[in-house]
Chains A and B, each alone.
Chain A
Amino acid sequence: MDSKKIEILRLIEEQARISIEALAKMVDLSAEETSNIIKELEDQKVILGYSSVIDWSKVTDTETVTAMIDVKVTPKRGVGFDDVAQRIYRFPEVRALYLMSGAYDLSVVIEGKTMNEVARFVSQKLSTLDSVLSTTTHFQLKKYKHDGVVFSDGEEDQRIVITP
């Protein structure tokens, strides 16, 4: 892919809400060229969506629990892990799903309102799938950094106002 496209992708990955005008100036293209590139990347499903990083712990009455579940499965002939992966990611509770190297096969990230809700999902929906051999559930206790964003207040600009 050409370097301008990559540059645009990196910038909007960092800051999805940046304006087309600012983006165009930064990558030295016209606004029209820039929006065409973004449209093209959206059509090609290179850009799949735009999301924000929210610290829900600061919002009252919206508490959720997040668990990361290590899942061992038996791959199926012909479709490997893809078939079972699809069966898992279709549950709306599943926020993320990755095929892993190492001690287990799939890493499932689940978000629920309560610990019970997550537990129910694991025992009733996940473990009961045919291919699933075992699950190990880890609950997240605190979010320090997510998608490259640090959740505490950032380092302030320490520079003095004018320096030579």
Chain B
Amino acid sequence: MISKTKGTRIAKIANEIPPSGIRKFFDLASTMDNIISLGVGEPDFVTPWSVREACISSLERGYTAYTANAGLLELRVEIAKYMKKQFELEYDPKNEIIVTVGASEALDIALRAIVNPGDEVIVVEPTFVSYAPLVSLAGGKPVSVGTTVDTNFRLMPEQLQKAITSKTKAIMLSFPNNPTGSTMTEAELKAIAKIVEEHDLLVLSDEIYAEMTYDHKHASIAKIEGMKDRTIVISGFSKAFAMTGWRLGFVTAPSDITNAMLKIHQYTMMCASTMAQHAAIEALQNGMEDVRKMIQSYKQRRNYFVKSFEEIGLSCHVPGGAFYAFPSIKNTGLTSQQFAEQLLLTERVAVVPGDVFGSGGEGHIRCSYATSIDNLKEAVVRIDRFIKKL
């Protein structure tokens, strides 16, 4: 008899999905002292005090029970207002918005709501590490499309065209992008939208970094004519409001999709954390000035960082958004893994090797500039020394 608990007790799919490439690197870095970390994918600000205070106050008032599955209606109303004001997108808080446990959960339940076994989902890479594994977990087949530095890591229409087959169901986009910092303009997204419509695809647009654009205002693909009905917009509070640890995201989509997502959400999560939701209401009502200040600070640090890279001769496209620079290290002759590991061991600077973010990432390193100017300055000195010794 075949044992169900020995050897084969782990499900095939769980065996097959690769562990996050970041994990290995984290294990190495976390054993070392005095490192300057450019490896952190979250804001260096603490959540604004008024938001933290709103959470404390909600606890004092005893708001500790479940909320509606889709989240507090008051919060969904605020999210609807926010999406309209910031991105000119209109959603009905009653049936087109779900509050999720981070954008990560939103990605998961969105994929599970739309993917049938064998469906192909185009994943535009380099990108956040979870996309392809989540497609696999949903029973689909991730199809990677790698953007390159030649096009500033923007998705080109012909690349998308080439990757589409009769099985393609959806594409996953993320601009402003982690790890490249790239953004796409409305005109560029229009060309993508045209192909999406022609092939009757859905779009999962992860816009978690939407507030963090420095050269032009963020354009959502959902705003382009005809796209709202086929786009799932995913966002959250983590980056813009410096609320990563609160685990609070949201998704806006046509109601047939949110209805399907809500079923999965109610069986797996029930609802997002109640106190985090109360804090998020405060964030949306009174936190935009804090957001503006943080964005200004990221922009200054981006400028500082990219110029400093220029000075030491490290080739880096200007990242228009998020808080990452993604310089090329190709001319060192090292792979991005080798570069990152040796840099960490010899100069104690932690960066993330670009290959972990998928196709197109090899030959680059992700450097987060969500850290102090003093740290950035010292990191650049050390990277310079490291490259000169090679």
Q: Do A and B come from one complex?
A: yes
Residue A18 CB within 8 A of the other chain = yes
Given A11-B300, A25-B308, A163 contacting B39 (CB threshold 8 A): yes
Contact between chains at B303 and A27 (CB < 8 Å)? yes
CA distance A158 to B304 in the complex (A): 24
Contact between chains at A27 and B35 (CB < 8 Å)? no
Residue B107 CB within 8 A of the other chain = no
Query: CB-CB < 8 A to A26: which residues of B?
Result: 300-301, 303-304, 373
CA distance A7 to B42 in the complex (A): 24
Query: CB-CB < 8 A to A27: which residues of B?
Result: 300, 303
Contact between chains at A25 and B29 (CB < 8 Å)? no
Query: CB-CB < 8 A to B307: which residues of A?
Result: 25, 28
Residue A54 CB within 8 A of the other chain = no
Contact between chains at B128 and A22 (CB < 8 Å)? no
Q: Chain B's nearest CB lies how many Å from the CB of A15?
A: 8
Residue A160 CB within 8 A of the other chain = yes
CA distance A158 to B300 in the complex (A): 23
With a 10 A CB-CB cut-off, give which of A11, A18, A28, A164 has the most chain B CB atoms. Answer: A164
Query: CB-CB < 8 A to B129: which residues of A?
Result: 164
Q: Chain A's nearest CB lies how many Å from the CB of B39?
A: 4
Within A13-47, which residues are at the interface with B (CB < 8 Å)? 18, 22, 25-28
Residue B37 CB within 8 A of the other chain = yes
Contact between chains at A18 and B22 (CB < 8 Å)? no
CA distance A27 to B303 in the complex (A): 7
Contact between chains at B304 and A25 (CB < 8 Å)? yes
Interface of chain B: mostly helix, strand, loop or mixed: mixed
Interface of chain A: mostly helix, strand, loop or mixed: loop
Given A22-B373, A25-B308, A157-B44, A164 contacting B128 (CB threshold 8 A): yes
Residue A2 CB within 8 A of the other chain = no
Residue B185 CB within 8 A of the other chain = no
CA distance A26 to B29 in the complex (A): 29
Q: Chain A's nearest CB lies how many Å from the CB of B288?
A: 18
Query: CB-CB < 8 A to B377: which residues of A?
Result: 22
Contact between chains at A164 and B41 (CB < 8 Å)? yes
Query: CB-CB < 8 A to A7: which residues of B?
Result: 296, 300
Residue B264 CB within 8 A of the other chain = no
Residue B63 CB within 8 A of the other chain = no
Residue B192 CB within 8 A of the other chain = no
Given A18-B373, A26-B373, A155-B46, A161 contacting B26 (CB threshold 8 A): yes
Q: Which B-chain residue is minimally distant from A155 (CB atoms)?
A: B46
Residue B130 CB within 8 A of the other chain = yes
Within B1-51, which residues are at the interface with A (CB < 8 Å)? 20, 22, 25-26, 29-30, 35, 37, 39-42, 44, 46
Provide the B168-191 mask, 1 if CB < 8 A to any CB of A, else 0.
Answer: 000000000010000000000000
Residue B101 CB within 8 A of the other chain = no
Within B338-363, which residues are at the interface with A (CB < 8 Å)? 350, 352
Question: Contacting A161 at CB < 8 Å: which of B178, B303, B304, B350?
Answer: B350
Contact between chains at A162 and B40 (CB < 8 Å)? yes
Residue A77 CB within 8 A of the other chain = no
Q: Which A-chain residue is minimally distant from B25 (CB atoms)?
A: A162
Interface size (B, Cβ < 8 Å)? 29
Residue A142 CB within 8 A of the other chain = no
Residue A58 CB within 8 A of the other chain = no
Provide the B128-153 mask, 1 if CB < 8 A to any CB of A, else 0.
Answer: 11100000000000000000000000
Q: Which A-chain residue is minimally distant from B373 (CB atoms)?
A: A22
Within B275-320, which residues are at the interface with A (CB < 8 Å)? 296, 300-301, 303-304, 307-308
Contact between chains at B46 and A163 (CB < 8 Å)? no
Q: Chain B's nearest CB lies how many Å from the CB of A16?
A: 14
CA distance A7 to B130 in the complex (A): 37
Q: Which A-chain residue is minimally distant from B39 (CB atoms)?
A: A162
CA distance A163 to B356 in the complex (A): 12
Residue A145 CB within 8 A of the other chain = no
Q: Chain B's nearest CB lies how many Å from the CB of A32?
A: 15
Contact between chains at A163 and B303 (CB < 8 Å)? no
Given A22-B377, A164-B20, A164-B129, A159 contacting B40 (CB threshold 8 A): yes
CA distance A158 to B30 in the complex (A): 13
CA distance A112 to B14 in the complex (A): 71
Contact between chains at A162 and B44 (CB < 8 Å)? no
Q: Chain A's nearest CB lies how many Å from the CB of B132?
A: 13
Question: Contacting A159 at CB < 8 Å: which of B29, B42, B296, B303?
Answer: B42
Q: Chain A's nearest CB lies how many Å from the CB of B181?
A: 15
Using a CB–CB cutoff of 8 Å, the interface residues on chain A facing chain B are: 7, 11, 18, 22, 25-28, 155, 157-164
Q: Across the A-B interface, give the 9 residue pairs with the lowest CB-CB distance, nearest first.
A: A162-B39, A26-B300, A25-B304, A162-B26, A25-B307, A163-B41, A161-B29, A26-B304, A161-B37
9 A-B pairs (CB sep. < 8 Å)? A7-B296, A18-B373, A22-B377, A160-B26, A160-B30, A161-B29, A161-B35, A161-B37, A162-B39
